[in-house]
Structures are given as C-alpha cells and as structure tokens.
C-alpha cells in the first residue's frame, strides 16, 4: 500500500501478557517513529529510528518496552508484562528523513491497545 500500515488495529490483552505491535512504513522512508497517545492526551515520543544509526530510545517509559527495525523497514514494538496504564493508541510514523533532517511525518492508523 501507499501509506503506513499498522497491525493489529485493535488488541485486547490481559495484564501481565506480552504484546507485539507491527509497523510497515512507506517504502523508501528512512525514518520511523513510535508515539503513544492516551485518551485525550498528546503524542508521547517513544522511539525513533533513522537509517542505520542507533535508535533514539530516550522516550521508552520502562524496560518493559522495546522496539526493533529489521532491514531498515518493518518495525515491531514489544511491550512485556503489560500493565493497565499501557492502554493507549500506539502510533507509528515514517518520513523521508533526508540526511537526518526532519520532514513531514506520515502516520499510520494506530494500534489501540487495551489491557484488562
């Protein structure tokens, strides 16, 4: 497809379970971002990948959160031992980050995570 694709669109899990959220960015985009949006809240930065550089993980809220990007394309955000406060919409975005300069972000539809 032409846009950023995220899956699953909705995920309901039990407290303590692990979840994986997937992001397929726009082809050719070198930059990939994960943000978290809680109900009525802003876009909380989680992690940023740019090309082959080491990712900026400074936004990850705890060591239960991790993300990887394989082959410079698809990214997976993993949340271990989920807690109720992890419930949110997880948004992925990609951009054509020319030489590391910020440009327009194209967001996916998000993955809505509910932890019971």
Partner 1 sequence: GENVEQHPSTLSVQEGDSAVIKCTYSDSASNYFPWYKQELGKRPQLIIDIRSNVGEKKDQRIAVTLNKTAKHFSLHITETQPEDSAVYFCAASPQGSQGNLIFGKGTKLSVKP
Residues that bind partner 1 (CB under 8 A): 31, 33, 35, 41-45, 48, 50, 53, 56, 58, 91, 95, 97, 100-105, 107-110
The distance of closest approach from Cβ of residue 27 to partner 1 in the complex, given in angstroms and rounded to an integer, is: 18
| Nearer of residues 80 and 87 to partner 1, judged by Cβ | 87
Dist. CA 79–CA 2, nearest whole Å: 27
Cα angle vertex 35, ends 79, 74, to 5°? 70
Length of the chain: 116
The distance of closest approach from Cβ of residue 16 to partner 1 in the complex, given in angstroms and rounded to an integer, is: 30
The distance of closest approach from Cβ of residue 44 to partner 1 in the complex, given in angstroms and rounded to an integer, is: 8
- What are phi and psi for residue 84, nearest 5 degrees? -60, -30
| Nearer of residues 43 and 74 to partner 1, judged by Cβ | 43
Three-class secondary structure of residue 37 per DSSP: strand
- What are phi and psi for residue 10, nearest 5 degrees? -140, 140
The distance of closest approach from Cβ of residue 96 to partner 1 in the complex, given in angstroms and rounded to an integer, is: 10
């Amino acid at each position: 497809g032409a846009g950023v694709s995220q899956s699953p669109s909705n995920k309901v899990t039990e407290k303590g379970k692990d979840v994986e959220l997937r992001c397929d960015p726009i082809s050719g985009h070198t930059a990939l971002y994960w943000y978290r949006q809680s109900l009525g809240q802003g876009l909380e930065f989680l992690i940023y990948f740019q090309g082959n550089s080491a990712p900026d993980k400074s936004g990850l809220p705890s060591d239960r959160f991790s993300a990887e990007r394989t082959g410079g394309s698809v990214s997976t955000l993993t949340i271990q031992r989920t807690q109720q406060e992890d419930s949110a919409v997880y948004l992925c975005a990609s951009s054509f980050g020319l030489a590391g300069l910020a440009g327009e972000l194209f967001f996916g539809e998000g993955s809505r995570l509910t932890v019971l």
